[in-house]
A and B are shown apart, each in its own frame.
With several copies, the nearest count.
Chain A
């Protein structure tokens, strides 16, 4: 599963993305975030307040309870500030 980070989520984690293989019980974006938080301080910082974390699955916006599966491109990022 390809995971991408943007904005201060990327800054805090320290990498723009990574190829990961979460355990089988990671079924949603929220599950994935909980699992990622266990990987280190940067992750825990990035995902401390989930009210300001947004997600996309395969380049479409998704709610945190949306299902994910192997092969998906999952992106995690702050609220967007375009324009």
Chain B
């Protein structure tokens, strides 16, 4: 399930829906991204997330489909916020469930890595350095790239 919203989300409630009544699920992995108060040398007062309505939902659904094609997942949840956020605020929740822990963990890691470079969001930070758009990072490209090697039924990029 994909949710793109301005409102905050409740992590516990969101995760509970993924496993409720499902006794075949053995593993629930999740990742939450939060706004940090520091960017380089500057203190951050706020971060405004701009997105591309319509395309955002399509891109996230495509990333979810890619994860489901690679791992045997029971469910996938992506909640991504937009709008003005402050340090400590939640930005994104990614959660996966599976019978097995490696599938859930790897798919969760994959999803957040791909989100970083393949979901149409742009971040404007405001703080002690003035307002500045967050630049894409090479390390995020590298993180997304490392999942490219084995397109299907990948068990884990850590095992060889």
Whether A75 is near chain B, meaning CB under 8 Å from some CB there, is yes
Whether A44 is near chain B, meaning CB under 8 Å from some CB there, is no
* B136:A56 contact, CB within 8 angstroms: no
Whether A24 is near chain B, meaning CB under 8 Å from some CB there, is no
Whether B121 is near chain A, meaning CB under 8 Å from some CB there, is yes
Residue of B33, B50, B112, B119 with most chain A CB atoms under a 10 A cut-off: B50
Whether B72 is near chain A, meaning CB under 8 Å from some CB there, is no
* B134:A81 contact, CB within 8 angstroms: yes
* A83:B119 contact, CB within 8 angstroms: yes
Q: How many residues of B contact A (CB 8 A)?
A: 27
* B50:A82 contact, CB within 8 angstroms: no
Measured CB to CB, the closest approach of chain A to B156, in angstroms, equals 16
* B112:A77 contact, CB within 8 angstroms: no
Residue of A7, A52, A61 with most chain B CB atoms under a 10 A cut-off: A7
Interface residues of A in 25-55 (CB under 8 A from B): 52
Shortest 3 CB-CB distances between A and B: which pairs?
A7-B122, A79-B136, A82-B119
A-B contact pairs, 12 of them (CB 8 A): A6-B50, A7-B122, A11-B133, A59-B54, A60-B58, A77-B120, A77-B122, A79-B117, A80-B117, A80-B120, A82-B118, A83-B101
Residue numbers of A with Cβ under 8 A of B are 4, 6-8, 10-11, 52, 56, 59-61, 75, 77-83
Residue numbers of B with Cβ under 8 A of A are 33, 50-52, 54-55, 58, 80, 91-92, 101, 112, 115-124, 133-136, 140
